[in-house]
Amino acid sequence: MGTKRVGVFVCHCGLNIAGMVKVKEVIDKANKQPGVVFAVDHKYLCAEPGQTLIKDSIRQHQLDAIVVAACSPAMHEATFKNIAQLSGLNRYNCEVANIREQSSWVHDDSDKATSKAQIAVRQGIEKVKLNEPLQPITVPVTRRVLVIGGGIAGIRAALDVANGGYQVYLVEKSGSIGGRMAQLSETFPTLDCSICILGPLMVEVYRHPNIKLLRLSRVEEVKGYIGNFKVRVRQEPPYVEEAKCNACGECAKVCPAQVPNEFDFGLTWRKAIYTPFAQAVPPAYVLDSTNCLGLLPQACGECKKACDQFGTGCMNLDAWPQVHELEVGAIIVATGYELYDATKLTEYGYGIFSDVMTSLEFERMLSASGPTSGEIRRPSDGETPREIVFIQCAGQREPETALPYCSKICCMYTARHAMMFHHKVPEGQAYVFYMDIRAGGKGYEEFVKRCQEERGLLYLRGRVAKVYEENGKLVVKGVDTLSGKRVQINADLVVLAVGMIPSSETHELASKLKASLDANGFFSEAHPKLRPLESPTAGIFMAGAGQAPKDIPDTVAQASGAASKALDLLSSPTLEREPTVAQVVGELCSGCGICIPSCPYEALSLNAETKLAEVSEALCEGCGTCIASCPSSALSLRNLTDEQMLAMIEAIVAS
Amino acid sequence: MIQLETNFEPKIVGFLCRWCSYAGADLAGTSRIKYPPNVNTIRVNCSGRVDPTLVLKALALGADGVLIAGCHPGDCHYTNGNVKALRRFRLLQKMLDQFGIERERVRLEWVSASEGERYARVVRGMTEDVRSLGPLNWKARVEAVA
């Protein structure tokens, strides 16, 4: 193995690397390393001419192994391994030295960056010399998909996978699918009624033979890996037999427990037995056990009596939660968003003055099925507001105090809100405080322009400093930066365009999925541009606002994209896994068994006959924790052996 | 006895887990956050892969410091390899004490894939700490005593 003929390829990445790292010096140094028979640089190794150079050089110089010094292996390792394979090498005889993300981009001293790059290349050379040729491990694929979240993203993704002919489990935490989109009144820029375009899809999900809808459900545990996940889902009982319930509502009439209706953000009340909203799917009542007067022991039971007497007798108060053990090949995460807590924005007085609302509360008010049947009323006294102020970017683009990012959709829905207000209260006056208008999207700019030109609608460029109550009016103090004047508006109603944040359980779910989150708590993508639908954790795809704030068209597009990724994975009955797994060096193993519990995948066991440890390659994920636990150094990780680790350490310290 | 060299540049070996810390280091790169070039990294799948023996060997071979970085507890891609790394690290610290090696030379840090800034901060801090400790001189300090 020590006699490998190694070739080194150093990428300029345009000027990304070559602008800081002295590529020629890296080549010179590499040429001096034992085993290196050829070294060359190229402007873009990843593009066609670069790949051809690698391919031709491997043949011409009869290389046995290559080291590509370029961007992070997270970026193009697969590309370079593929080209090695195409050129007749085993794909594991290729190593990538990261001289961009971890050298040229992070240092500003050219000599030091070059020296660090030289070390990285040397590490690669020493490692690749000791790599053994490996063949991928083939494992079967469970051809089913789990979709987490029943909003528009989850619905679209579930339908696409189901229409593709595969079985889908759709897990939704609430009593109905529909998500945020079901709460919206209209959608921009077409002013389509939201539930009219969502409703049919919800029904389609419910009726689809390939979709199993699990509402009132949460993911409890995720085990396994791409192609073979084992997911435990806990489903709370609705206490109502879905198929029998005809939503007559007799149960709710007699229910004595009344609580704020979360669907209307507390602007209305609901009973403890309720239907989440009029168009809910499944169209059945749900008993909310936390607000019920008592089930164990039963305190009231009026709903059941009414159901038995006047309804279909579909209630069962003795139901228990169910645990589903699902086996799926791919997981699509579509967990959506919530609003940032507006009470934290103390300058606007939300939560103190009842006529300061969030945009989603206002949305419910605009909805024909909302608390006021679509009429705009002040929550404090039920009067129609004449002067209304919309505050955009509320708690957004404020890295110091609130959210650092832009939620992307607020400019558009605020324009729509202002327009709807004007249609419903033609004599009213609306003011919109904005920082700048971001209306990138098909027909978006035109829509905002139309709103801005409406009579009785004034856009003011500037921020609001303070909102307070005086003589029954909300005094909004701000600044109009275009005229350079302070503005004071005595408003009847203030609507805050509060930013989107990931759903509250996102972090918990991400831990279970072992999927990483970004700095703002949204799901990270494998690559922001080239792999935006995939989590870095293989087999997990994402759609919708759980990944980043986005509007409905983008969400739907991403959902269909994620579904097609899942279908791609399921299209073959088997898939190949990395063979860089643990192995036991038989003669060193004493059979002590210390390694067995260290494995999180139960991939290690003691052979019944030999009493020595053995690795189940299909189960091993290659983490290497067992290797560090073995007192006799009998375990080793393929292509990351202790010998290779030491060779790399030497490459670092010997420089 | 610590010899103070004026232009001492510490050599630090960094074991970074692939899923969190290596990705965090890459993010520092894509964000163009600058930090000193003293840490050369070795990508491991999990911080749990880092056998304490390797850390000691790195020091014995000439490293002035070793950085182990993994996912935050609860976020490990392999469930809890990082917690196992932490347990081994605690024992390793005791061993370093016995060798008379300053604890600051070996660090275990949690750096997530979204913490490019944190990675840069860790490298800056560690480089400065090790720089002020001076070269390790394993041979003179450990082997001579043994």
CA-to-CA distance for A179 and A202, rounded, in angstroms? Answer: 10
CA A398 to chain B, closest CA, distance in angstroms equals 19
CA B74 to chain A, closest CA, distance in angstroms equals 6
Contact A140, A227 (CB under 8 A): yes
CA-to-CA distance for A535 and A562, rounded, in angstroms? Answer: 10
**Residue B140 at interface with chain A, using a CB cutoff of 8 Å:** no
Return the residue matching tokens 């324009």.
A415
Inspect the interface and report whether the beta carbons of A628 and B37 lie closer than 8 Å.
no
Q: Tell me the CATH number at B61.
A: 3.40.50
The range of the structural domain enclosing residue B44 comes to 12-139
A459 pLDDT above the threshold of 90: yes
Contacts of A393 (CB under 8 A, 6+ apart): A406, A410, A434, A435, A463, A497, A499
Secondary structure class of A167 (helix, strand, coil)? strand
Inspect the interface and report whether the beta carbons of B84 and A629 lie closer than 8 Å.
yes
User: Who has greater pLDDT, A296 or B12?
Assistant: B12
**Residue B67 at interface with chain A, using a CB cutoff of 8 Å:** no
Inspect the interface and report whether the beta carbons of A107 and B34 lie closer than 8 Å.
yes
Residue B3 located in a structural domain? no
A642 CB neighbours in chain B (<8 A) are 51, 53-54
Residue B121 located in a structural domain? yes
**Tell me, what's the pLDDT at B6?**
63
Which has the closest alpha carbon to A156: A506, A563, A571?
A: A563
Inspect the interface and report whether the beta carbons of A107 and B120 lie closer than 8 Å.
no
Residue B93 located in a structural domain? yes
Nearest CA in chain B to A110: B37
Inspect the interface and report whether the beta carbons of A537 and B77 lie closer than 8 Å.
yes
A113 CB neighbours in chain B (<8 A) are 37
**Tell me, what's the pLDDT at A585?**
87
**Tell me, what's the pLDDT at A527?**
87
Pick from B26, B58, B85: CB nearest A72? B26
Contacts of A71 (CB under 8 A, 6+ apart): A11, A13, A16, A46, A98, A100, A101
B52 CB neighbours in chain A (<8 A) are 628
Pick from B25, B37, B80: CB nearest A600? B80
CA A508 to chain B, closest CA, distance in angstroms equals 9
Residue B57 located in a structural domain? yes
Domain count within chain B: 1
B1 pLDDT above the threshold of 50: no
Contact B134, B2 (CB under 8 A): yes
Inspect the interface and report whether the beta carbons of A101 and B78 lie closer than 8 Å.
no
Pick from B26, B34, B115: CB nearest A102? B26
| Structure tokens belonging to residue B76 | 């490990």
Nearest CA in chain A to B42: A648
Tens digits of per-residue pLDDT, A135-172? Answer: 999 999 999 999 999 999 999 999 999 999 999 999 99
Number of CB pairs, chain A paired with chain B, less than 8 A apart:
152
Inspect the interface and report whether the beta carbons of A653 and B61 lie closer than 8 Å.
yes
pLDDT bin (cut points 50, 70, 90) of residue A601 is confident
Tens digits of per-residue pLDDT, A99-128? Answer: 999 999 999 999 999 999 999 999 999 999
Pick from B54, B78, B120: CB nearest A621? B78
B37 CB neighbours in chain A (<8 A) are 103, 106-107, 109, 112-113, 115-116
A655 pLDDT above the threshold of 80: no
Inspect the interface and report whether the beta carbons of A74 and B41 lie closer than 8 Å.
no
Residue B125 located in a structural domain? yes
Pick from A102, A519, A600: CB nearest B78? A600
A601 CB neighbours in chain B (<8 A) are 78
Nearest CA in chain A to B27: A101
CA B81 to chain A, closest CA, distance in angstroms equals 6
Inspect the interface and report whether the beta carbons of A516 and B112 lie closer than 8 Å.
yes
B28 CB neighbours in chain A (<8 A) are 101, 106
Pick from B20, B49, B75: CB nearest A625? B49
A112 CB neighbours in chain B (<8 A) are 37
| Structure tokens belonging to residue A458 | 């004034």
CA-to-CA distance for A64 and A56, rounded, in angstroms? Answer: 13
**Tell me, what's the pLDDT at B5?**
52
Pick from A510, A649, A655: CB nearest B57? A649
Contact B68, B50 (CB under 8 A): yes
Q: How many residues does chain B have?
A: 146
**Tell me, what's the pLDDT at A618?**
83
Mind listing the domains of chain A with CATH numbers?
A: 6-136 (3.40.50), 158-231+323-336+507-570 (3.50.50.60), 250-310 (no CATH), 338-501 (3.50.50.60), 581-637 (3.30.70.20)
Mean pLDDT for the stretch of residues B6-33: 95
Tens digits of per-residue pLDDT, A199-231? Answer: 999 999 999 999 999 999 999 999 988 999 999
Tens digits of per-residue pLDDT, A566-592? Answer: 999 999 999 998 999 999 987 899 999
Contact A155, A148 (CB under 8 A): no
Pick from A106, A115, A623: CB nearest B48? A623
Burial degree of A426 (CB within 10 A; 0-12, 13-18, 19+): exposed
Residue B7 located in a structural domain? no
Secondary structure class of A283 (helix, strand, coil)? coil
Report the DSSP beta bridge partners of residue A576: A138
DSSP secondary structure string for all residues of A307-320: HHHHS---B-TT--
CA-to-CA distance for B86 and A13, rounded, in angstroms? Answer: 38
Residue B82 located in a structural domain? yes
CA A179 to chain B, closest CA, distance in angstroms equals 27
pLDDT bin (cut points 50, 70, 90) of residue B74 is confident
Tens digits of per-residue pLDDT, B36-61? Answer: 999 999 999 999 999 999 999 999 99
**Residue B61 at interface with chain A, using a CB cutoff of 8 Å:** yes
Pick from B33, B34, B40: CB nearest A119? B40
The percent of residues in chain A predicted with pLDDT above 70, rounded, is 100
Q: What is the value of ipTM here, to two decimals? A: 0.95
The chain-wide mean pLDDT, for chain A, equals 95
Pick from B23, B40, B42: CB nearest A536? B23
Among B residues 15-44, those touching chain A with beta carbons less than 8 Å apart: 19-20, 22-23, 25-26, 28-30, 32-37, 40-44
Among B residues 71-130, those touching chain A with beta carbons less than 8 Å apart: 74-81, 84-85, 88, 112-115, 120
Tens digits of per-residue pLDDT, A366-413? Answer: 999 999 999 999 999 999 999 999 999 999 999 999 999 999 999 999
A537 CB neighbours in chain B (<8 A) are 19, 77
